[in-house]
Every structure is written in C-alpha cells, then in structure tokens.
Amino acid sequence: MQVGKVISKLSLMWWLNKIIFVLIFIPGVVWAQNCNKNLKGYIFDTGTGKPLEAVAVFVKETNAYYATDSKGFFISNGLCPGHYHFILSHVGCAPKMLHVSVFSDTVLNITMDHSVHLMHSVTVKGHHNQSNHKEEHIHESEIIDQAKETLAEVLESLNGVSLIKNGGAAKPIVHGMYGNRLSILNNGIPQAGQQWGNDHAPEIDPLSANQITVIKGSGALEHFGGNMGSIILVEPQKIKIEPHIHGKSTYFFESNGRGHGLHAKVQQHTKAIGWRLGITAKKRGDQNSANYFLNNTGSDELNYFVQLQNVYKDKWYNSIYFSAFNSTIGVLRGAHIGNLTDLRDAFSREVPFFTEPNYSYGIEAPKQRVNHYLTKLRTKRVIDSLSSITLTAAFQLNQRNEFDVRRVGRTEIPAMSLRQYSFYNDLKYQKRWRENQLKFGIQLNVLDNTNLPGTGILPLIPDYLSYQSASYFIVNKTHGKHLLEAGLRYDYMYRSILVFNADRSIDRYLDLFGNYSASALWKYNASDKSQISAGFAYAMRPPGVNELYSFGLHQGVSGIEEGDINLDPESSFKGTFSWEQRFFESFYLSSFFYAQPFSNYIYLQPQEEIRLTIRGAFPVFKYQQIKALIYGSDWVTGLDLFEGANIECKYSYIQGWDQTNDLGLVFIPANRWQGSLNYELASTLQLGQFTFSNLRLQLNGTYVAKKDDILLVQDFSLPPDAYYLLGAKFTTDIELEGNLWRIVLDGDNLLNTSYRDYLNRLRYFSDDLGRNISLGIIFEF
C-alpha cells in the first residue's frame, strides 16, 4: 500500500511539472521565435495601374492602422503566424476586405477600383480576356447601391442603354436592340424565358452578381443570340479562398410604393470546397405618379441562389450554380378597358380609369406571376499553361402565368399559362501562343415551350419544340500597339410548331433555318491616354415564334398581337467606331459610333384598328417586315473641377428609320442627355468610435427629348413631350470595430415632374412615376 501511494505521488508530480512546462516554457518559446513576420503591400489602381497614396490599411486582429506612401507601399511588422483580415479604404474607392495567411514574410500586390469616374469604366479588353469589343461595367458596389432596382433599371445607368417598359416590368434596350435581338447571359448561360414580350422582364436578380457587363461592339460570336451586336453578362464572382465565413446584408426602403427589400449573401472557401449562398426578398405596393396613385402596380419578389466550386489537382476547375427567381407584378388596372368608347377616351385622359386615392400592398388581376429556375454545371480542364477545354451544361425551367379580370369568379384562373424547359450544352477550347489566341466551340440548345391547359382561352403563341446547334471560331492577334480579331459562327435551328385554331383544329409547321454570322475588329492603343477601335459584323436572325404565329390578346401589354407566317429571316450589317482620349489629367472624352442597316427588319407595328372582344376593347399590333436603318452615337465626357469634385456628362443619340415607307421607326429610344456633379464632402470623419469615409454627394439630371419622327398614323397617340428629371444621392462608408457599413440615400424625380416616357407601353393610359426617396443600409462582415 505504501509503495502504491509513493508511485501515485511521483506520477502526480510528473504531470504537474509537465503542465508547468507547457504553460510557461512553450509559450515563451513561441512568443520569442514566431512573432517576427513582416507583410509588405503595394496597392494600385485597377484601371490605370498607378500606385494609390494615402490608402488607410486596418488590421482587424491587431487593431493596427497604416497608410500607403506615394508608391502605394505599406508594411506591417511583428506579425505572429496566422490568419489576418485587412480592411482597405481610400477616397473614391469602395472599401475592400482581404483575408491573408501569414506564415512567413509576405509581399502582396493589391488593386482597388479607383477609376469609376475615369473613362467611365469603359475598357476595351486585352487579347488575353474574354472579349475585345467595347464594354461597360457595373461593379458590385454600384449594384448593391441600387438594391431596389430591377436588372433593367440597373443597366439604365449606362450610356446607350434604355428601357422598354410596361409599368413595373422593364427590359433593357442597347442601341435599339431588345427582346430576341439582345442576349442576356445569366452566369454564362443564355437566359431562356419568354423574351418576346415587351412586358416580360428578365428573370434575373442583379444582386446575385458581382459584375454586370454590356458588350456594345460589332459582335459577340461566342454567345447564343449575341450576333446582332450586343450582349449583357450577369456574372457572379469566383469565390475567394477564405477559411472564414464572410458576407453582406442589405436593407432598403423606398417612399414611392412604400417598398422594402432585404438581401443577404454569405460565403466561405475551405480547402475542399468554396460555397456562396444568397437570398433577396422585395415587396412594393401601389406606386404613384406626380398627381395620383397608380392602382394595382405593386410587386413581390423572392429570389435565392447557391454557388459551389472546387479545384482538383490544379487541373480541374469545377462549379455548380443554382438560382431561383420568383415574382408577382401588378398591371395598372386603368390599362384594361371594357368598351371602344372608353378606350378611345383613355388615350387622352389625364387620370386613368379605376384610379382611387387608396394605397394598397395587394396585387389583383391584371397581374403576372413568373418563376424561373437555373441549374448550371461547369468543368474546366487546364491542359497546360496556354490551353484549356471547358464543358458547360445547364437546365432552365420558366413558368409564366398572366391573369386577367374575368367574370363568374374566374379571375384567379390564368388567361395565359406557359411552361418552358431549356437544356443548354457548350464545349469550348482555348489556346494561346505568342501574341495570338484561338477559341473554338460547339453549342446545343433545346427549348420545349408548352401552353398549360385550363385557361379556357386560345393560346397567344403556339406550343413548340426547338433544337438549335451552333459552332464558332474566333482568333485574335496582337502586334505592337495593334490588336486584330476575327470570328465566324454558324447556327442551325429545327423548330416544330403546334398551332391551336379557334375552330379546335390544329395546324403543324416545321421551321428550318441556317444562319451565318461574322465579325472583325481592329484596335489601336496609341498611348495609355488614347485608343481607337473599329469593328464590323454581319448577322442573321430567324423570326421568332411570336413574330410568326402569335394571335390573340397579350394581357400583359393590354393589346392584341398578330404574327405573320410569311416573315423571312432578318439580316443586318453593323459598323462601329470608338475613340477614347484623356487630354490631360482632369479631362477625358469617350465616343462610340454605330450604324446598322437591316434587311427584312421585323417589328410590332401599331394598327389603326381598335378591337372589341369579350374581354374588353384593345388596340391591335401586327408584326411586319421592312428595310430599316438604326444608327447613333454615345458620348461620355468628364472634368475634375478641383480636389474631390468632378462633373460628368453623357449623351446618347439614336435614330431609327423605316426605309421602306420613308418614316421614323417605332419603339426606338429618344435621344437622352445625363449629367452629374460629384463632390467629396470629406475623405474621413471621426465621430467617437465611428470612422466615416467617402462622404459623397451627387446631383444628377436626365433630359429625354421628344420623338419628333413618329406620326399619328403610326401609333395610337403621338409621342409624349420631352421631360427633365432631377435626382440626388448621398453615400458614406462607416467603419466600426473592424466592421464595414455603408449608407445610401437616394432621390429620384425630386421635382415631382409629371411626364410620360415614349417606351413605356402604359403611357397610353397614365403618367410615369413621381418622386421617390430611398434609404439603403449595407453591412459587410
């Protein structure tokens, strides 16, 4: 027993000595040996490549502050091995958070986007990038600042981009191209929905993207539907390697419609996989014009997405993306008229029929309900440092229901119910050698579009099954300051159509189309302050199903639309020229010219007829084909007035001409001028524990001219008068205990101007939106 006690005491003493050794000796060794790491950083402007001076660098784990010198350099000494979060802030830049792993002396090269007002972020990409055509970008910070807006409304801030609207539903127009002529890519996948309708807004949540790009050049042959000259890319960013969970949350409120919205996005990248989740919810009630409520113009929206990615042996890059878009949009009640006399009266009324001084969040018929789902699988195999092959497969489901005011309790039965399946496959090979790059790809897109039974109404468009295959070849070469690019594309379409007639008979049609497209580009970088480019493209487009076969009431736009089965494929040439010049440090000019003649141009022509149906009285529109010309130019110029203040002016000129009938072309945007005065109120402001940076105030104005080339015989009413809208915006970034906040206070139509826009189909019945004040709060963690 005594021996056992002695052994127990000796064992206890051994463990106590071991614990003392661990608690005292080991930390001393670690402290003495490891906390001697240095991190050096160089910070440059993304756009110009020049060093950024006076960038504030905050290290969250050590509570240390640094500032870059004239070379954009800073150094952080005495770091222990581990993970650190650096928060960067600079006048004119959105704050940036970086995660850095420090286990040895480290050197970082960091870029910050300080060039939003320089050349208006217009860049012509180099030959190692996706495209060499004219591009304009909207970055993540700008997208989040406009959280209340739809995708089309966000795009409207770019020069040369307008909107065609039907009240709350809006779709973008780029240089007169929209609908089937304009391709929108959601995370690299051609958006598949009912693009043919002027009231059918793109079913994409802009808050799911980190960048939105508009390619306005002479062609984008790599993508389905882009051969008419314009492409919109909605792109989520690759998930950065960051072992911690980070994200952003955004809340906004707007006065017009008393709208609320919430968006949240979180992400993490472990060694095995990177993931990102996002969700957006929006609700808005009846909006109002300057003088009255626009009854039944509310909307609901709920969207979410999941993004996964991983890298296998530095050779295979794999990703999965899923998104869901769900919205309900009310249509102005005063746009649906019951008889011919009232409809003619509605075109000239100051206040629409059914207008009541009562606000409501309710959404009654007429309305639209849309659900869109996208699943994308992508794998990229890096063959060597100069070549790769990429395989992409995607599935989309689009469901659209449109509800009309119907009798005998049938209002909740959709008047139009469409379901579309889409299957997309893309195989692309890329190779670089010396100063050359080659791209070759093959694509297949299958669409199955079906009218669901039970509406009790003859379908507006028929059922159809479409197979479209394509191949393309693009090559470019850089020689000194010159860049040359050329490409060729061929599309083949097989389309089987099933038309239901009023007498219950069925007609079957088979469409076969083979289309060629080609483009060429030359760019010359005269210096880092000057560049010019010229492009040329030829494209063909088969007529859409709606253009050939539609027949009936399109409830969403309150009109009867009729197709023409004798339409031929549309073809066009497009020539472009751009010139960008910075004359001195404080003044720049960017210009872009284009001309696009069409053979067999297809458009929806308003008729002189107004037709009475059992569902009410409606104007009639028919698809027709003519020889046409669309041409114009975009101008952007800016001047730095003094430290922290600058002005920017944008002018978009566009003309469309019906050469067959020697008339102006309908549904072409009016000329537009936009100007803004930006003033940096203070670079930083310290109030207690709050650090305010980038306190910025902007005054902006938009002038839209009257369309004076459209006659009354071409439309149901003359184009509305010119109008001017005044706006203002205040933003600031706030840093509190290592967390980033941003406040956005925005005002639109501050003068509460009463106006009607030519491209808003509801202009026949009502004024456009009145004053709107919105507040956005953004939290980054």
Structural domain boundaries of the chain?
1-28, 35-112, 154-780
Q: Is the pLDDT of residue 455 over 90?
A: no
Q: Which residue would you say has higher pLDDT here, 738 or 477?
A: 477
* Confidence category of residue 218, pLDDT binned at 50, 70, 90: low
- Which has the closest alpha carbon to 151: 235, 46, 249, 234? 234
pLDDT one-digit tens code per residue, 167-188: 888 999 999 988 888 889 999 9
Instruction: For the beta carbon of residue 87, count every other beta carbon within 10 angstroms.
Output: 19
The amino acid at residue 266 is V
pLDDT, residue 502, reads 77
How far is the C-alpha of 467 from the C-alpha of 464, rounded, in Å?
Answer: 10
Provide the greatest CA pair distance for the chain.
Answer: 119
Q: Are 181 and 547 in contact (CB under 8 A)?
A: no
Instruction: For the beta carbon of residue 679, count every other beta carbon within 10 angstroms.
Output: 15
Q: Which residue would you say has higher pLDDT here, 134 or 156?
A: 156
Q: Is the pLDDT of residue 349 over 50?
A: yes
pLDDT, residue 114, reads 63
Beta bridge partners of 672: 652, 704
Q: What is the mean pLDDT of residues 84-106?
A: 78
**What share of the chain in percent tops pLDDT 90?**
55
Span of 5-19, 227-241, 337-351, 519-533 with lowest mean pLDDT: 5-19
Q: Is the pLDDT of residue 677 over 50?
A: yes
Is the CATH code 1.10.10.60 the one for domain 35-112? Answer: no
3-state helix, strand and coil shares in percent for the chain, rounded to the nearest 5: 10, 55, 35
Q: Are 694 and 680 in contact (CB under 8 A)?
A: yes
Two structure tokens written together for 523:
């760019």
How far is the C-alpha of 54 from the C-alpha of 694, rounded, in Å?
Answer: 13
Q: What is the mean pLDDT of residues 299-303?
A: 97
φ, ψ for residue 717 (rounded to 5)?
A: -155, 155
Instruction: For the beta carbon of residue 661, count every other beta carbon within 10 angstroms.
Output: 14
C-alpha angle 254/260/261, rounded to 5°?
A: 115
Q: Are 500 and 464 in contact (CB under 8 A)?
A: no
Q: What is the mean pLDDT of residues 559-578?
A: 92
Buried b (16+ CB within 10 A) or exposed e, 270-294: eeeebbbebbbebbbbbbbbeebbb
Q: Is 540 exposed, middle or buried (0-12, 13-18, 19+ CB in 10 A)?
A: buried
Half-sphere exposure of 417 (CA within 13 A, CB side): 10
How far is the C-alpha of 375 from the C-alpha of 507, rounded, in Å?
Answer: 34
How far is the C-alpha of 497 from the C-alpha of 550, rounded, in Å?
Answer: 12
pLDDT one-digit tens code per residue, 702-711: 999 999 999 9
How far is the C-alpha of 213 from the C-alpha of 235, rounded, in Å?
Answer: 8
Residue 101 Cα distances to 84, 89, 167, 224, 245, angstroms: 6, 20, 50, 42, 15
Contacts of 405 (CB under 8 A, 6+ apart): 333, 336, 365, 366, 411
CA 652, distance to chain mean position in Å, is 20
Q: Is the pLDDT of residue 750 over 90?
A: yes
* Confidence category of residue 89, pLDDT binned at 50, 70, 90: confident
| DSSP labels, 183-249 | EEEETTEE--S-TT-TT------GGG-SEEEEE-SS--TTSTT-TTS-EEEEEPPPPP--SS-EEEE
* Confidence category of residue 738, pLDDT binned at 50, 70, 90: confident
Q: Are 615 and 552 in contact (CB under 8 A)?
A: no
Q: Which residue would you say has higher pLDDT here, 635 or 3?
A: 635
Half-sphere exposure of 484 (CA within 13 A, CB side): 4
Q: Which residue has the tokens 């029929």?
A: 353
Q: What is the mean pLDDT of residues 393-411?
A: 89
Q: Are 215 and 230 in contact (CB under 8 A)?
A: yes
Q: What is the mean pLDDT of residues 350-372?
A: 92
**What share of the chain in percent tops pLDDT 70?**
91
**CATH class entry, domain 154-780:** mainly beta
82: left (phi > 0), else alpha (psi -120 to 50), else beta?
A: left
pLDDT, residue 28, reads 43
SS3 of residue 151 by DSSP: helix
Q: What is the mean pLDDT of residues 23-52?
A: 67
| DSSP labels, 372-437 | EEEEEEEEEEEEETTEEEEEEEEEEEEEEEEE---STT-TTS-SEEEEEEEEEEEEEEEEEETTEE
pLDDT one-digit tens code per residue, 480-509: 899 999 999 999 999 999 998 878 888 999
pLDDT, residue 120, reads 40
pLDDT, residue 229, reads 63
pLDDT one-digit tens code per residue, 407-450: 777 888 898 999 999 999 999 999 998 889 999 999 999 999 99
Q: Is the pLDDT of residue 115 over 60?
A: no
* Confidence category of residue 26, pLDDT binned at 50, 70, 90: very low
Q: What is the mean pLDDT of residues 292-313?
A: 95
Q: Which residue would you say has higher pLDDT here, 106 or 635?
A: 635
Q: What is the mean pLDDT of residues 225-244?
A: 81
- Which has the closest alpha carbon to 120: 134, 137, 133, 132? 137
Q: Is the pLDDT of residue 253 over 80?
A: yes
Q: Is the pLDDT of residue 227 over 80?
A: no
Q: Is 309 exposed, middle or buried (0-12, 13-18, 19+ CB in 10 A)?
A: middle
How far is the C-alpha of 657 from the C-alpha of 309, rounded, in Å?
Answer: 48
pLDDT, residue 490, reads 95
Arithmetic mean of pLDDT over the chain: 87
pLDDT, residue 92, reads 66
Q: Is 562 exposed, middle or buried (0-12, 13-18, 19+ CB in 10 A)?
A: middle
Q: Is the pLDDT of residue 17 over 70?
A: no
pLDDT, residue 123, reads 37
- Which has the closest alpha carbon to 325: 97, 151, 180, 190? 151
How far is the C-alpha of 515 from the C-alpha of 382, rounded, in Å?
Answer: 32
pLDDT, residue 127, reads 35
Contacts of 345 (CB under 8 A, 6+ apart): none
Residue 596 Cα distances to 175, 521, 694, angstroms: 9, 16, 42
